[in-house]
Amino acid sequence: MDRRNPVSVNVPPPGSPLIVLGIETSCDETAAAVVERSADGGGLILANVVRSQWDEHRRYGGVVPEIAARAHVSCLDILIAEALSISGKGLSDLSAVAATAGPGLVGGLVIGMVTGKTLAMAAGRPFLAINHLEAHALTVGLTDGLRPPYLLLLVSGGHTQLLLVRGVGQYERLGTTIDDALGEAFDKTAKLLGLPQPGGPAVERMAAGGDPRRFDFPRPLAGRAQAHFSFAGLKTAVRRRAMDLVPLSDVDIADLCASFQAAAMDAVADRVGRAMEIAEDRLGADASRRLVVAGGVAANKALRTRLADLVAGRGYTLHVPPAGLCTDNGAMIAWAGAERLALGQVDDLTAKARPRWPLDENAPPAIGAGVKA
């Protein structure tokens, strides 16, 4: 039998309010949320539940993919049931089901996608395969009602990118890291200094009591024409200085953290400043002077402070979603799904998980970049 449209689904008519279930399983957080998008484009979170697996991974010093996948499959349906119950909605109230399709760990992605596809099929609703980075990029629409265009700094354990967000599905990568992500640099520094994981908050806590001027660490790529990042050299510089000081006192550790964080933030601010110029160039007269920060590292207070100084000097406004919506969550996946559904976009049940899925597939490789760029 020839059936070109294998699963019949009810796609809502344009302009209707949308209720979307979002599923996130790309790394070590299992998450589900229900989000409503009103006809005028406003967003409301009806439920947002996240289960962190960190306790299961802690003794391995990082996320173990097989452990993550085992944890996801054991609790995802329970979290979805909880999210639906909190939202007061049933499956039949949903307009669509959205799940993260990438980038991320394939074992987890597959679980979220199969679960999402099955729910979509059982409910007779469209399925949406969501790019996790796009979800981070669009979160300010949900939290602040901010619409593109804007400049986005996406900072997480796995990504450090500057993107010009022109619209839903329209992303231009202005810069990326050529080696480590910013979050990764924090994690590795924490590990080096014997601080607990996740390393970002631990380094930030120690830095608060340290002297940021005791060590003069490099500000990688500062002043370069392209808006790329590099953190590997900074990480090595911290290691060299720390090894000279062994055994490390608490003051040494605090000063190393503070000096590292100051250097990293200076480098970020320099690169974001450069990206602002490129964005203004590309957008021309209607350049909107708005900087959005998303991703797990956006919770870092030193980063917010440093960027607040930068935007003030450049006539920009700074938009950072609340911490719980910067780290991995289902609400951003549901929201990205709602935004795409509002444009009439849906995916079918053959959609594949995409462990690597750049937001700007046309971006040229950054010179000297490793595989992560």
Partner 1 sequence: MNVLALDTCFPALSVAVGSNLASPRARVLSRTEPMATGHAERLLPLIDELLDEARLAVADIDRVVVTVGPGSFTGTRIGIAAARAFKLARNMALVPITSLEAIALSPLIAAAPGEDVVVAVDAHRGEAYVQVFDAAACQTLGAPRILALSDFASLQRGRPLLAIGTAALAVTEAINASGGEARAQSDMIFPDMAAAAIWAATREPATAPIEPLYLRPPDAKPQEGKSLERAGA
Binding-site ranges for partner 1 (CB under 8 A): 1, 3, 6-7, 59-62, 64, 66-67, 69-70, 73-74, 76-78, 80-81, 91, 106-107, 110-111, 113-119, 121-123, 191-194, 242-243, 246-250, 252-253, 349-353
Nearer to partner 1, 348 or 360 (CB): 348
Nearer to partner 1, 22 or 148 (CB): 22
Hey, what are 74's tokens?
A: 């054991």
Among the listed residues 245, 219, 222, the one whose alpha carbon sits nearest the alpha carbon of residue 233: 219
The CA-atom distances, in angstroms, between 213 and each of 191, 232, 256 are 22, 20, 9
Q: How far is the CB of 350 from partner 1 (least distance, A)?
A: 5
Q: How far is the CB of 126 from partner 1 (least distance, A)?
A: 13
Q: CB atoms < 10 A from the CB of 36, how many?
A: 20
Q: How far apart are CA 40 and CA 251, in angstroms?
A: 54
Q: How far is the CB of 77 from partner 1 (least distance, A)?
A: 4
Q: How far is the CB of 80 from partner 1 (least distance, A)?
A: 6
Per this entry, what is the length of the chain? 373
Nearer to partner 1, 71 or 163 (CB): 71
Nearer to partner 1, 56 or 360 (CB): 56
Q: How far is the CB of 192 from partner 1 (least distance, A)?
A: 6
Reduce the DSSP state of residue 220 to 3 states and report it: coil
Q: How far is the CB of 8 from partner 1 (least distance, A)?
A: 9
Q: How far apart are CA 47 and CA 56, in angstroms?
A: 25
Nearer to partner 1, 86 or 349 (CB): 349
Q: Which contiguous run of DSSP H or E holds residue 97?
A: strand 96-102
The CA-atom distances, in angstroms, between 99 and each of 32, 102, 120, 309 are 9, 9, 10, 36
Q: How far apart are CA 269 and CA 302, in angstroms?
A: 11
Nearer to partner 1, 35 or 73 (CB): 73
Q: How far is the CB of 51 from partner 1 (least distance, A)?
A: 15
Nearer to partner 1, 93 or 172 (CB): 93
Q: How far apart are CA 362 and CA 373, in angstroms?
A: 13
Q: How far is the CB of 214 from partner 1 (least distance, A)?
A: 16
Q: CB atoms < 10 A from the CB of 250, how many?
A: 10
Reduce the DSSP state of residue 42 to 3 states and report it: coil
Q: How far is the CB of 347 from partner 1 (least distance, A)?
A: 11
CA 359 to chain centre: 12
Nearer to partner 1, 66 or 361 (CB): 66
Reduce the DSSP state of residue 149 to 3 states and report it: coil
Q: How far apart are CA 355 and CA 6, in angstroms?
A: 26
Q: Are residues 33 and 49 in contact, defined by beta-carbon separation less than 8 angstroms?
A: yes
Q: Which amino acid is at 189?
A: T
Q: Which residues pair with 294 in a beta bridge?
A: 154
